[in-house]
Structure 1
Amino acid sequence: MAQEITPELANLVLDAQPFSKLVQARVTVFEPRRAVLEVDVRDDLLQQNGFLHGGVLSYAADNALTFAGGSVLGASVLTSGFSIEYLRPGKGVLLSARAHVLESTRRRAVCRCDLVMIDSEGTERLVAAAQGTITLVG
């Protein structure tokens, strides 16, 4: 059975990552088979056309996938690979990376992540989708 990780511990793990601190990401949902990571959109996270930078979207997907996988595998996990499809430009005030486990074994979890931008009125729009494999290490 996987080691239990609380939402509080999930945020401590996230806070231990310097890049996560830089983008000011937070885990807002952490439960078995599911994790949500959020990032407030700031000007320094945008690309030259005013959209959320693709690197921020990829970062959020990678971490949300890993937290979802870790919810079933335990804390000692790494992303062994993931792919992302950018569907439309990221415009809004909040990025919500919503990941869930599709299938898992004792050592690996295949996860999916929907990357949703939320505007100031609360309207949500899917901007990217990612899928990855999370692997137990050690």
Structure 2
Amino acid sequence: MSTSDLSPQALAQACADSMYKVDNASQSLGMKILSVAPGRAELSMTVRDDMLNGHGSCHGGFIFALADSTFAFACNSRNISTVAQAVSIDYVRPGLAGELLTAVATEKSLAGRTGLYDVTVSNEQGEDVAYFRGKSYRIRGTVLPEPEQ
């Protein structure tokens, strides 16, 4: 079966499954894919004790990693290899030990080779923890291997 035979939703899921299989960083941090769709992704991660900083809250780098992985799954959901060109993050609340953080990435714009995505990271109480904005850039290649002609 060719990737062109898949619905956009099935393609997004197949891309996420393929990427996650080899994404040692996301796996080692305990991230789980909750959902994917074209231009959208939702991942979660529980804040572990080894993720805490000197203030006893989740180190910003781990929150960033969750947002960045979610961004990656969203912008690669159409089977075109895509990387980050620029990103920024604003932290608005600490992540605490044992909390389940959820990140939702939403495509805001896709034109030519660039896209713009907003990612909101929130805690179990629905309180926002961070806002991440990523600009993507499409490179050569596909996420899923194309069948040989």
* Rounded Cα–Cα distance in structure 2 between residues aligned with 1:133 and 1:125: 25
Q: Alignment partner of 1:59: what SS?
A: helix
Q: For each residue in 1:60-92, what CA deviation from the matched residue of structure 2 results, as whole angstroms up to 9, or x when unmatched?
A: 111111222222x42411111100001121125
Task: Calculate the aligned-residue CA RMSD, in Å.
Answer: 2.1
**CA distance 1:15–1:43, change in 2 (3 Å):** farther
Max Rg structure: 2
Alignment map for 1:34-113 (pairs within 5 Å)? 34-71=40-77, 73-91=78-96, 93-113=99-119
Conserved? CA contact 1:60–1:97, under 8 Å: yes
* Rounded Cα–Cα distance in structure 1 between residues aligned with 2:21 and 2:91: 27
Q: Alignment partner of 1:5: what SS?
A: helix
Indicate the structure with greater strand content: 1
What is aligned with 2:132?
Answer: 130
Extract structure 1 runs of 4+ deviating beyond 2 A.
Answer: 1-5
Conserved? CA contact 1:116–1:126, under 8 Å: yes
Sequence identity percentage: 27
* Rounded Cα–Cα distance in structure 2 between residues aligned with 1:134 and 1:13: 16
The residue type paired with residue 132 of structure 1 is G
* Rounded Cα–Cα distance in structure 2 between residues aligned with 1:124 and 1:14: 26
State TM-score, norm by structure 1: 0.85
State TM-score, norm by structure 2: 0.79
Q: For each residue in 1:31-70, what CA deviation from the matched residue of structure 2 results, as whole angstroms up to 9, or x when unmatched?
A: 1221011112211122122211101111111111122222
Q: For each residue in 1:63-122, what CA deviation from the matched residue of structure 2 results, as whole angstroms up to 9, or x when unmatched?
A: 111222222x4241111110000112112520101110001013221000001011xxxx
Structure 2: unaligned runs, 5 residues or longer: 141-149
Total equivalences in the alignment: 132
The residue type paired with residue 5 of structure 1 is A
